[in-house]
Amino acid sequence: AEAESTEETTEEQPSENAEATAVNKQMQFKEAVRIRAERSADSERLANAYAKELVKVIENYSDGWSKVEYNGVTGYCKTEYLEDAQ
**Contact, 81 vs 34, CB < 8 A?**
no
Question: Global pTM?
Answer: 0.81
Q: Give the pLDDT band (50/70/90) at residue 62.
A: very high
Mean pLDDT of 37-56: 97
Exposure b/e, 7-37, CB count within 10 A at least 16 = b: eeeeeeeeeeeeeeeebeeebbbeeebbbbe
Residue type present at position 69: E
- Tell me if 59 sits within 8 A of 66, measured CB to CB: yes
* Band of pLDDT at residue 30, cut at 50, 70 and 90: very high
Residue 31: strand, helix, or coil: coil
Calculate the average pLDDT of the chain. Answer: 89
